[in-house]
Amino acid sequence: YKVNIGDKSYTPPEISAMILQKLKADAESFLGESVTQAVITVPAYFNDGQRQATKDAGKIAGLDVLRIINEPTAAALAYGLNKDSDEKVLVFDLGGGTFDVTILELSDNVFEVLSTSGDTKLGGYDFDRAVFDWLVEEFKKENDIDLSKDLMASQRLMEAAEKAKIELSNMQETSINLPFIAVGEDGPKNLDVSLTRAKFDALTADLVARTMGPVEQAMKDANVTAKDIDKVILVGGSSRIPAVQATIKKFVDKEPSKSINPDECVASGAAIQGGVLVGEVKTDLTLLDVTSLSLGIETAGGVFTVLIPRNTTIPCTESQEFSTAVDNQSSVEVHVLQGERKMAADNMSLGKFTLTDIPPAPRRVPRIKVTFDIDADGIVKVSAKDMGTGREQKIVIKSDSGMSKDDIDRMVAEAAAHAEEDKKRQETVEVKNKADALLYQAEKSLEDLGEKVGEELSSKVKSSIDKLRTAIDGGDRDSITKAVEELKDPLYEMTTAAYRKDDTPPAENVEAQTEE
């Protein structure tokens, strides 16, 4: 993705690098020395591609990025640097355009993120807009002129609305005076109104109420109740709104902490983390962040197999062994995904890579070890290793189009809405996979043992095999389950008869031989 400015095209990391270069220059001017290292904070919902892009931007700006950390974690670090007690902390971050809630636990000098949630369509701008709409309506009633149709007037109104919102955090009433805001038939028109805090609260009551949804979700994900929360940290300028503070106070029955500056705490936390990393700040405090969405791969039948669940503490490494789907399969494609749905097609693809040169072998014999590794910056590396040959392929996920928090919220909501449907689809796929494994085994057994047991038993097994194949092709779970049960008895009977004929002990129940 690129954006055109003048006659040049720029990528998002290049634009971010320009901002970082300005910040770097400001810091150097203030300190009077060169600045070469940085800790950069990002929204908790940034995926691995966005984190990598942020790191790239830092490099373009001439910075050695020591660490990428989540904003709520940075805020909590600024709060908890000198805290000795064990606490569960709720970080309430109401910024200009988005709202985030994070639950953290401070215990034995370890700050661990338990969960994160939010609303990408809720922020200080929405409060400004509510005042803006009221001003437009008031002016229209008195002058029959719609100021929202005038771009210049709208800009002045939005600036006045934001200023009024800020003032009402410390005052009970404020005046909004905008001279020559419009021109009517009888000349220039002025806007001069008073806005009380009570009126402001009434205009924004629905917005304040919306903050509680993500709070409840974060607490649910963290498996805590309001009584478990020891402290509430406010982050973002709009968290100063009295009605917002009153609402969160009522919900958790605790006064929000005023010990840190909502506008500066994230930057302060990043500075502290930088000091820790270079050894200039002495603290035993350890940060443990979490993944925002589950990570895994696509397996047989299009199922999304999760290796690292959502809200897992990072850095982390997780491995699981898989195998081939057909005989003599020489390569496997590893499809890496991120999301909360049961089926691979319903989740976000992060990348694919292929492990080749697998020696010929019956299906399900090769052992392919897939390993996910997420570093402290939240950047994902995936590898697949053939345990027989030692051959290995790796991929570092670098998404070209980062996933927005809207995408994450949508995926989580869709997962909840389709949970029952997804579960049924997953169960059907699992039943088909088990049935396919049994079918494969039965066909090989019939080929190897059919002549030893006679025509009648062979025909019985063959008939059951045909029924199972038809059921699998039909895709109905109940029919497949019934056909599987109908095949097990004659198959067991055939293998038992064949082994007895050879004076060989009978095989264990066929269920133990089928793949899970």
Whether pLDDT at 106 is above 70: yes
> Which residues neighbour 184 within 8 Å (Cβ) at sequence distance 6 or greater?
143, 145
pLDDT in the model for residue 510: 43
pLDDT band at 76 (very low <50, low <70, confident <90, very high): confident
Angle between helices 197-210 and 242-252 (to 10 degrees): 50
Residue 135: what pLDDT?
96
Q: What integer pLDDT is reported at residue 240 of this predicted model? A: 92
Predicted confidence at residue 419, as pLDDT, reads 62
Asked if pLDDT for residue 488 goes beyond 80, the answer is: yes
Q: What is the pLDDT of residue 397?
A: 67
Mean pLDDT, residues 187-203: 93
* Cα–Cα distance measured from residue 65 to residue 466, given in angstroms and rounded to the nearest whole number: 62
In the chain, % of residues over pLDDT 70: 87
All domains in the chain, ordered by first residue: 3-122+211-290 (3.30.420.40), 124-207 (3.90.640.10), 295-403 (2.60.34.10), 420-512 (1.20.1270.10)
- DSSP calls for 366-384: S-EEEEEEE-TT--EEEEE
Structure tokens at 232: 């509430």
Mean pLDDT for the chain?
83
Q: Tokens 């049924």 identify what position?
A: 424
Between CA 334 and CA 200 the distance in angstroms is 54
DSSP string, 66-117: EEEEEHHHHHHHHHHTT--S-EEEEEEEE-SS-EEEEEEEEETTEEEEEEEE
Angle formed by the axes of helices 12-31 and 48-60, nearest 10°: 50
Contact yes or no for 248/209 (Cβ under 8 A): no
Residue 125 tokens, joined: 């701008």
For position 405, what pLDDT does the model report?
A: 53
Residue 314 has pLDDT above 80, yes or no: no
Residues 20-50 have pLDDT tens digits of 888 988 999 898 999 999 999 987 767 667 7
Q: What is the DSSP letter of 400?
A: S
3-state SS, 151-207, equals HHHHHHHHHHHHHHHHHCCCCCEEEEEEEEEEEECCEEEEEEEEEEHHHHHHHHHHH
Quote the pLDDT of residue 404: 52
Tell whether the model's pLDDT for residue 512 goes beyond 50. Answer: no
3-state secondary structure of 314: strand
Backbone φ and ψ of 331, nearest 5°: -150, 155
pLDDT in tens, 224-242: 999 999 989 999 889 999 9
* pLDDT at residue 284, rounded to an integer: 61
At residue 248 the predicted structure's pLDDT band, cuts being 50, 70 and 90, is very high
Bridge-based pairing state of the strands 380-386 and 368-374: antiparallel
How much is the average pLDDT of 151-159?
92
- What average pLDDT does this structure show over 178-191? 85
Indicate the DSSP class of residue 347.
S
What pLDDT sits at residue 452? 78
In this predicted structure, what is the pLDDT of residue 45? 66
pLDDT (average), residues 401-418: 55
What's the pLDDT at 438? Answer: 84
